[in-house]
């Protein structure tokens, strides 16, 4: 028995001699969520090998690793992740990695401006990409990190960064114009989970989530009742489904409002924790943001 | 293959061995589901640990989880000893109760912290190589490799020291008691080892994989042998084989590693279930068919012995009289001929000396009906062996 085990080990070790690390001289960068992948792609461009772990429509709280992800992580030179417990247990894994450069995008931000948990001081809302100002800071942070890693490409990264911040400014103006067409008292956003708090803070929306911060918890009957009363009282026209959260709970909410004799429509699907499919307009951060705003304003008007 | 990939396979293999050893005894004692129960019932331990430390990463949480695991075992044992319910029912009573205590504690006191079994304990095999153990600045390998390695060494040590006691108390608790060692102590010892192994392995590889690695290899080995030592060795081999082959299936499909290993365990069980030489489905079906033919042969021979007239012994008559189909009568006739029980003369069948002898003995057997005799008869005459 022991002999067999040793043989097995020997075979394993023998096969392990070839190393698959790709080395075309570029830096291997791994990112977690689709938002971060898009950001790093805009800055790093063709000067880095970029690989994202999560695909479109994947809920970062509930992401499950595949075998290929191990190789991606093992070969990575820099890992960018969101932090603030967005990626669940993965954040812990990154924090413990001592032989790799792991960068939490949220470290770029001033923690005191973030929205915190009522009960536990060190827990913050992780959905920082919904504030364009934060995303600009994140852009500068990524530019700085990549420039430190590859100093010879510094000018390229900085040029890309400036260009991207330019685009983000344009986006911000465009979005503000759209939102300004919506009267202040109609700016109420009801969604499946509390992903849009920063969005609400930036654009004066009142944001109500059915499920709370973590998508792992389930909405209770009481939550649905309370929220439907709120919808009727404030004459909210539409509620929204999210791409990475099952729409069952929002449909339950709609049914609950209907049962009390009022009408509320489902305004459409918003992208919250993940971007749309790669290659589509919603597959980029800017496209996603515009789409969300147009959907929200269109449905609430 | 990178070092991360080797480490994952090594951790998975060690977990497989560490689970197969207590798993074998659990399967034999019909307590296989205890590992599944422990995966849920540790929640209150984790919650209390969090209330004390206010820190999700504290080792106290895992310690309390292991203690709750032992508490589960003690409660199950206590309920079961009343004799009012069976083992599985006792398990089913205890773990939902403990789990719901944990859920209520969270709902009351920590509703907006991400606190569940998942967040604290359940490891992901894919990330195990990235959580390193650093001793005075030197990287000595993944942390879970050390945890599971220590558990494994303790388990193996206990297995070698108490093998005889474990064996006797598993198969005959009464004998164990009369030989002077308490089956209760051995039982709790085993259950404690199972609980610690389960919790430690949860941390390294996640829940479903641990439950699968405890039960599937032992259950597969049980189909192949009735001997305890062999069963342990087979279970370990199946576990390690599934761990490594499962890893490569995951590599090939770019899928979840734990999922692929569990799938491999299921596949191996299925294959053994179908093709095991003694207990496998195909072997059982084949044996049943043989037995049917043997019974037919016996009926046929008795018929011959009872009837001396030629009309009754004509080949064609068999079809009508005993009401067999053509194929079956031909099989029986061929078998009897091959064994020199009968002789054919112009389609008239008659018994040979050996046939006479065999049939007389068979009648004796049917009259006295002692089990042992027919086995001897089979050895003397029979049948399919040559």
Q: What is the pLDDT of residues A152-183, one digit of tens each?
A: 889 999 999 999 999 999 999 999 999 999 98
For residue A13, what pLDDT is reported?
A: 52
Q: Is residue A67 predicted with pLDDT exceeding 90? A: no
Residues ≥6 apart with Cβ < 8 Å to A273: A33, A58, A59, A60, A61, A86, A127, A195, A215, A242, A243, A244, A245
B236: DSSP letter = H
Facing B124 at nearest CB: one of A89, A96, A119: A89
Residue A7 CB burial class (10 angstroms; 0-12, 13-18, ≥19): exposed
Residues ≥6 apart with Cβ < 8 Å to B233: A1, B221
Q: Is residue A88 predicted with pLDDT exceeding 80? A: no
Contact residues, chain A, for B139 at CB < 8 Å? 98-99
Average the pLDDT over A255-278 and give the result.
Answer: 87
The region of weakest confidence among A48-52, A54-58, A63-67, B140-144 is: A54-58
The owner of tokens 């009742």 is A225
Residue B183 in tokens: 């089956």
B381 neighbors B358 (Cβ within 8 angstroms): yes
List Cα–Cα distances, B122 to A95, B34, B51, B69, B115, in angstroms. 17, 17, 19, 15, 12
Question: Strand B348-351 to strand B342-345: parallel, antiparallel, or no bridges (unpaired)?
Answer: antiparallel
**What parts of chain B have a pLDDT lower than 70?**
1, 55-57, 109-122, 318-327, 369-386
Asked if A64 lies within 8 A of B6 by C-beta distance, the reply is no
More confidently predicted of A209 and B98: B98
Facing A70 at nearest CB: one of B4, B113, B260: B4
Q: Is A241 helix (H, G, I), strand (E, B) or coil?
A: strand
A271: DSSP letter = P
The interface residues of chain B toward chain A in range 126-155, judged by CB-CB distance below 8 A, are 126-127, 129-132, 134, 139
Nearest CA to A33 out of A4, A62, A10 is that of A62
**How far B198 CA sits from the closest chain A CA (Å)?**
20
**ipTM at complex level:** 0.70
% chain A with pLDDT above 90? 34
**How far A210 CA sits from the closest chain B CA (Å)?**
14
Phi, psi of A205 (to 5 degrees): -95, 145
Residue B145 in tokens: 């490799």
More confidently predicted of A37 and A92: A37
Question: Residue B134's beta-bridge partner residues?
Answer: B139
Q: Is B345 helix (H, G, I), strand (E, B) or coil?
A: strand
Residue A217 in tokens: 């918890």
The owner of tokens 């899928």 is B255
For residue B51, what pLDDT is reported?
A: 82
A129: DSSP letter = G
Average the pLDDT over A56-64 and give the result.
Answer: 76
The region of weakest confidence among A131-145, A242-256, B235-249, B353-367 is: B353-367
Angstrom distance (rounded) from CA A61 to CA B22: 34
B20 neighbors B235 (Cβ within 8 angstroms): yes
Q: Measured on CA atoms in the order B248, B249, B251, B252, is the torsion positive or negative?
A: positive
For residue B128, what pLDDT is reported?
A: 83
Contact residues, chain B, for A99 at CB < 8 Å? 132, 139
For residue B213, what pLDDT is reported?
A: 93
Contact residues, chain B, for A65 at CB < 8 Å? 124, 126-127, 256-257
> Any chain A CB within 8 A of the CB of B347?
no
B314: DSSP letter = B
Q: Is residue A108 predicted with pLDDT exceeding 70? A: yes
What region, left, alpha or beta, does residue A85 occupy, with left being phi > 0 and alpha being psi -120 to 50 degrees? left
Contact residues, chain A to chain B, C-beta under 8 Å? 1, 4-5, 8-9, 12-13, 15-21, 64-71, 73-75, 85, 88-90, 92-93, 96-100, 117-120, 123, 212-214, 216
Angstrom distance (rounded) from CA B88 to CA B81: 13
Nearest CA to A293 out of A182, A138, A167 is that of A182
Question: Strand B342-345 to strand B138-142: parallel, antiparallel, or no bridges (unpaired)?
Answer: unpaired
The owner of tokens 């069976």 is B86
Q: Is residue A11 predicted with pLDDT exceeding 70? A: no
The owner of tokens 């061929």 is B334
What region, left, alpha or beta, does residue B137 occupy, with left being phi > 0 and alpha being psi -120 to 50 degrees? left
Angstrom distance (rounded) from CA B330 to CA B340: 15
A116: DSSP letter = B
Facing B2 at nearest CB: one of A12, A20, A216: A20
Residue A173 in tokens: 């103006």
Query: Is pTM, for the whole model, over 0.80?
Result: no
> How high is the mean pLDDT of chain A?
83
Asked if B131 lies within 8 A of A93 by C-beta distance, the reply is yes
């Amino acid at each position: 028995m022991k002999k067999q085990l040793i043989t097995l080990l020997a075979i394993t070790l023998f096969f392990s001699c070839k190393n698959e690390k790709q080395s075309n001289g570029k830096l291997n960068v791994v990112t977690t969520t689709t938002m971060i992948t898009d950001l790093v792609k805009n800055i790093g461009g063709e000067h880095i090998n970029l690989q994202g772990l999560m695909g479109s429509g994947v809920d970062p709280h509930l992401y499950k690793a595949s075998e290929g992800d191990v190789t991606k992580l093992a070969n990575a030179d820099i890992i960018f992740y969101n932090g603030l417990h967005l990626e669940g247990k993965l954040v812990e894994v990154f924090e413990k990695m001592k032989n790799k450069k792991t960068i939490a995008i949220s470290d770029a931000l001033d923690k005191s401006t973030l929205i915190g948990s009522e009960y536990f001081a060190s827990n913050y809302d992780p959905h920082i990409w919904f504030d364009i100002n934060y995303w600009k800071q994140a852009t500068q942070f990524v530019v700085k990190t990549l420039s430190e890693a590859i100093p010879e490409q510094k000018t390229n990264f900085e040029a890309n960064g400036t260009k991207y911040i330019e685009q983000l400014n344009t986006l911000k103006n465009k979005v503000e114009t759209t939102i300004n067409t919506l009267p202040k008292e109609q700016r109420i956003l009801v969604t499946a989970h509390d992903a849009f708090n920063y969005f609400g803070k930036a654009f004066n929306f009142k944001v109500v989530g059915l499920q709370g911060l973590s998508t792992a918890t389930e909405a209770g009957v009481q939550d649905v009742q309370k929220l439907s009363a709120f919808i009727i009282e404030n004459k909210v026209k539409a509620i929204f489904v999210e791409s990475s959260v099952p729409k069952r709970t929002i449909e339950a909410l709609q049914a609950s409002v209907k049962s009390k004799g009022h009408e509320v429509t489902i305004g459409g699907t918003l992208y919250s924790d993940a971007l749309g499919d790669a290659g589509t307009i919603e597959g980029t951060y800017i496209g996603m943001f515009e789409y969300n705003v147009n959907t929200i304003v269109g449905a609430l008007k | 293959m990178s070092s991360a990939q080797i480490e994952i396979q090594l951790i998975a293999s060690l977990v497989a061995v560490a689970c197969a050893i207590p798993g074998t005894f659990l399967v034999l004692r019909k307590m296989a589901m205890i590992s599944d129960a422990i995966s849920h019932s540790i929640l209150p331990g984790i919650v209390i640990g969090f209330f004390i430390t206010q820190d999700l990463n504290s080792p106290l949480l895992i310690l309390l989880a292991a203690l709750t695991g032992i508490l589960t075992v003690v409660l199950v044992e206590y309920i079961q000893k009343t004799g009012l319910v069976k083992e599985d029912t006792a398990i089913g009573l205890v773990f939902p109760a403990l789990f719901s205590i944990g859920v209520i504690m969270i709902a009351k006191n920590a509703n907006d912290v991400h606190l569940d079994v998942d967040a604290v304990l359940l490891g992901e095999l894919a990330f195990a190589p990235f959580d390193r153990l650093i001793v005075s600045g030197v990287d000595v390998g993944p942390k879970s490799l050390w945890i599971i390695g220590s558990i494994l060494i303790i388990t193996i040590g206990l297995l070698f020291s108490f093998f005889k006691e474990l064996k006797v108390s598993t198969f005959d608790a009464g004998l164990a008691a009369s030989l002077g060692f308490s089956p209760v102590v051995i039982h709790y010892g085993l259950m404690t080892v199972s609980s610690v192994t389960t919790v430690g392995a949860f941390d390294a590889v996640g829940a479903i994989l641990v439950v699968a690695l405890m039960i599937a290899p032992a259950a597969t080995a049980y189909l192949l042998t009735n001997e305890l030592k062999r069963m342990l060795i087979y279970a370990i081999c199946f576990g390690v084989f599934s761990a490594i082959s499962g890893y490569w299936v995951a590599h090939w499909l770019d899928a979840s590693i734990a999922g692929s290993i569990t799938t491999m365990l299921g596949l191996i069980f299925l294959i053994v279930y179908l093709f095991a030489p003694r207990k496998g489905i195909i072997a059982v079906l084949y044996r049943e068919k043989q037995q049917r033919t043997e019974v037919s042969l016996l009926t046929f021979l008795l018929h011959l012995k009872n009837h001396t007239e030629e009309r009754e012994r004509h080949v064609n008559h068999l079809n009508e009289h005993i009401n067999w189909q053509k194929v079956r009568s031909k099989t029986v006739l061929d078998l009897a001929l091959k064994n020199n029980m009968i002789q054919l003369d112009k389609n008239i069948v008659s018994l040979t000396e050996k046939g006479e002898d065999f049939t007389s003995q068979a009648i004796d057997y049917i009259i006295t009906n002692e089990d042992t005799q027919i086995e001897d008869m089979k050895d003397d005459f029979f049948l399919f062996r040559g």
